[in-house]
Every structure is written in C-alpha cells, then in structure tokens.
Structure 1
C-alpha cells in the first residue's frame, strides 16, 4: 500500500484557505500536503504562511513551472521552505505546456528534455551549496547559495511520457505524475524510470502520483466531476497524447463530456465508496507508486469546500 497524501483542492485566493488542509495533514496519517502551480496565492508563500500559523507539515510542490523563476531563485525558495517548515520538501518542476513556454520565452523549448536536465542540474547545485557550473542551451548558473544546515530537499520532475520518465530516472529523486492510470504507470512509466536510472548507475527515483478522485453518491455524476477537475488538462496536447498512449480511447473529436467519461472508464479519475477507493489506491501501489496524492479538486469545484473536506476525511479514514 503506498503512503497517502493530500492535494489542496483549490487555487487559494487568501492564504488562510490553505489552513484546513494543512491541519488535516497535521492531525491525520496523511504523509504530505501538496500544491501544484498556482498563479494567485503562490505555493511557496502559502506553505510558509501555514507554517507561521502553526501547521509545520511536510509539503510537496507538484509541479511548479520552470519558466517562472531562475534556478538560483528556485533553490533559494525551496531551501527557505524546508527551513521554515522544519521538514523535508519535495520540489517538483516541469516545463509546462508549449503555449505557456511561448508566453514566457517568446518561443517554446526546442527540447523540453534538455531544458529540464539543465534546470534540475542547476537547482541541485544550488540546494547543495555548490558553485554553479551550468552553461547550457537554456540555463546559465554561476552562483552559489551559502551552505547552511536545512532539512532535505528531494527534487522531482513532472512525468507524463517515457522520455521525461527516462530523464527523471537519470537525474531526479522523485517522478511526479498527474492523471496517469495505474496500468500505464506499470507498463510504461516505471520501466522508463528504471531504464534511466540504470543508465546513470543510480537507484530508481520514487514515484508519486497525484490522482483525481471522488467518493460516489447518488447525486454525483463521476464524469461531470472528472470534467470540472481536468478539462484544462485533457485539452492539452501533452496530456491528450499521454492518455491516448494509456489506452483511454480519448480522441480530438470527443466532446468534453465524452472525454471525461473516458477518464473514469480508464481509471485516470477514480470514483467509488471509500473502501473501493482504497482498493484503487492499493492498485497504484501494485503498479509501483510509492505515494498517492488524493486530489478532490472536482468535488471542490462542483460542490464546495465542505464536500471536498468530507471526501478527504472519508478517504483518509478508510486508508488508516
């Protein structure tokens, strides 16, 4: 059975909106509090706010987008967060969509794999207090963070397809997936991680999967919850390609609701009783996942904070 963590199921507009989820991690067996990239209350600041409010819990960033900050700044922010919370931090990065890259850089990365390799290498040098020596196609890093004691930082890569998984196997501590069905992880992602790790002569990175789910109820349509949770992701070419590789049957001609139904059918979005969800989470463990992050964003968007919190509590009780 993998460890179980919690994703903040909303983009906070005020920092105090993070506190109920930090408290849930503090008071239950949940391993870690996660947040993806947010462009309102930024995750590093939100986690620091929660620590200042008394909830100093382990946190994960899954994933933040490389183009938003220089590796020196990224390393400084991550190490600061580890020092503020007093806990190890999992810091995941990804290049983002081609449209997002174009917004920040005027053009997309010609090679997202090269960009990710250079970026993670530079961040690791910063975290380790070494003098940076990266002079790449996309990243230049010559600075140094003053060495100081701090909790450990695990560096991660957002992984959807085999190429990035092989790279994560070579250079990352953690591979972080989103919306990836368990069989796809077992048959495609894990072998690619092992291949990259063997090439680099290092252990295979841990695998963390952020999994959208909802407790089933007579008045809930799983496809509707899957849609409100993941419509933006399914519209992205890189996510659609991954889901097609995973055998979801999603095609460019699908309406949003049909695409959402296919997410449920292929196990990318989980719906069931708490005990059934525990069984599905165990299935991710059987596929090699070390940590499942419970994502009830669809419930929060459709039904609000209380319903999302009720689902999280029910799922955590069932996994205890």
Structure 2
C-alpha cells in the first residue's frame, strides 16, 4: 500500500513551516502530495510551491472544483504545473457542492454528473492539443454562442504530457461509476474497507461503459485520517471534530454529500444526530456523538502495530494508495508505516 499526503486546503492561513514539511514529505519516501480547495485557498498555487521544493513526489489536485474555472483554464493550470514539476502533476476534478458552486462561484450546480462529463471532455481536448478546442455542449460551449470574433483555439503552450492523468473526486455510486467511465483514476473520501464490494460494483459499472473496459494504469487513491497514538480513544478524538464538520456542516441539510456516505454505511441515526447538533452550533457535542466504531471504519488510529494490522484490510480493497489527511504532526511515526 503506497502512502501519500493530502494537505487539504488552508484554514485561516498556510502553516508557517509548510516549505520544510513539504521537503520532509518528499525526503521521507511518501509517494504523493495533494492539495484541495473550498472557498479560500486555491488548489494550484500550493502545488506550484510544492513543485519548487520537491523532486520526486506526485503533485495532485484533490480536487480542482468544476465551478471555480472554465475547463480550458483548468487545463492551462495543469499543463503549466506539469511542465514546472517535470511531469509529476495529477489533475483531480470534482463538482464541489451547491453551497460553494452557487454561493461562492455563482455557478449553477444542477446536473453535476452531466456537467462534469462535459468539463472533462473539454479539458482533455485542451491537454492533448491535437486540434483547436471546440465544444457544442450546453454547459461549456466553445466558442461562445453568438460570438462574432471568437474562434476555436489551440493552446500556445505545448503539453509536457498530452496524456496528463485526469481523475475524478467522487463519493456517491453514480459519480464513482463516472470516474471509471471517463477518468484515469478515482479520488475517494471516507472510504471504508468494509464497503469495498459496494465501490467495486460502482467502478465495474463505469468500466463496462468504457471501450476496452478498465484501462491500464487506472488508480484509486483514498484520503484517510491517520493518527498514531498508543491510546485509540485519544487518537479518535483528534479526528472527531473534522469528521463532525463534514458529516454535519459541509453542506445544507438534505444536500450534504459527505453526510450521505455515512447514511449508506448504516450510521443514519448517528449522522442525523451529528448534523442536528452541528447546524445548531453545538460543535463539541456533534464531535462527541461520533462513535469510535465509525471512526475506525474510515480512519487509521491507534498504536503503530494496530495500524499496520488494520492496513491489511486496506490492502485487499480497490485502493492503491492512501493519502494521509492533513499535515501530520507526527510525520516520522506516519513515515515509519511506509
């Protein structure tokens, strides 16, 4: 099982020691570094920063939001990063959610799967640079309909790799299937080994729609909280607040896709309670309402010996690589798991 690091997005401000920690991650043998974006820090600038400080780790967006940029702007950023990093970029794309898409970016969220499918098609055209980019779809038409001066254009920057990998971030089964159908990899979140068969079925559904079936090199990377601590409960307590945020507050009631993951896992009453408490601003109570059993399904917590045993369950799943969630304070202890 390969292990990378998903730094995520910056809350408040970037860590003061980010440069040193990125260099330590590269030197320690981690396989990848990922960044995210929500409605604050963007995803490409930190990766360019990381590219200048590292020499071997893959550099991925987990994820670049569909509503944040036109597909050609995303292709421009990804191609530029690929050049500057010597071909280490992985472009992860995700639909985001209605609150961010419509409230922050001012972009409609309706029909996210169809929108993502069209977006990826345009991105791939721009990355390949085989012909001027054009698209007659309803979401990202190029040239702009009715334009008198617009014409299809080909990127002035030649690709470092015309087949730069495009992945999808997905949680629901239809979106997971879409990643298998049109992408080069799946970025998983809140993956639970106990539900591996559920995700295999979703992936197989997508591969069945793809000419030639599953392509060589298709990968699955799961972002996973990891806390090495001799006390399992103390380790779980470090994860509960972030888990409560996603389960309870990352999206409106009825439109929180992270919440839905735990409902599908059989924790419907827990998820409902956490959401109720969180949206009532009782965040500490929301975190405390999350049982250790749930934490252990989607996270690796406890002594190093226990985590190594737990990793055996992950080895048997569709996951090829674990991306440790956040910048671990105990980097040496996590690196020892490699």
- Using structure 1 for the length normalisation, give the TM-score: 0.85
Task: Give yes or no for contact 1:224–1:260 (8 Å, CA) kept in 2.
Answer: no
Match in the other structure for 1:276: 306
CA distance in 1, matches of 2:204, 2:133: 28
In 1, the alpha carbon distance for the partners of 2:311 and 2:43 equals: 26
Q: Tell me, what secondary structure is at the counterpart of 2:4? A: strand
Asked if 1 retains the 8 angstrom alpha-carbon contact of 2:9 and 2:41, the reply is: no
> What secondary structure does 1:140 align onto?
coil
Q: Is the 8 A contact 1:11 1:38 kept in 2?
A: no
Task: Indicate if the aligned counterparts of 2:167 and 2:179 stay in contact, CA closer than 8 A.
Answer: yes
TM-superposition CA deviations, 1:173-194 (whole Å, max 9, x none): 011011221222x122222112
After superposition, the CA RMSD in angstroms is 2.6
Cα offset, 1:41, TM superposition:
4.3
Q: CA separation of 1:139/1:9 partners in 2, compared to 1, >3 Å: closer, same or farther? A: closer
**Greater share of residues in helix:** 1
Offset, 1:270: 2.4
Query: What residue ranges of structure 2 are gaps of 5+ in the alignment?
Result: 143-151, 251-255, 278-285
Q: Distance in 2 between matches of 1:143 and 1:280?
A: 51
Deviation at residue 110 of structure 1 after TM alignment: 2.1
Equivalent position of 1:81 in the other structure: 81
Unaligned runs of 5+ in 1: 301-307
Question: Secondary structure, in 3 states, of the residue corresponding to 2:129?
Answer: coil
1:22–1:57 Cα contact (<8 Å) kept: no
Give the aligned partner of residue 110 of structure 2.
110
Q: In the alignment, is the contact (CA less than 8 A) between 2:177 and 2:204 conserved in 1? A: yes
| Counterpart for residue 238 of structure 1 | 257
Q: Cα 1:259–1:62, aligned 2, differ >3 Å: closer, same or farther?
A: farther
Match of 1:146 in 2: 156
- C-alpha contact 2:9 2:37 (8 A) present in aligned 1: no
Q: Which position in structure 2 is the counterpart of 1:7?
A: 6
1:303 counterpart residue number: none
SS in 1 for 2:323: strand
CA distance, structure 2, for counterparts of residue 103 and residue 46 of structure 1: 24
CA distance in 2, matches of 1:140, 1:95: 18
2:197 match: 187
What's the CA shift for 1:51? 2.8
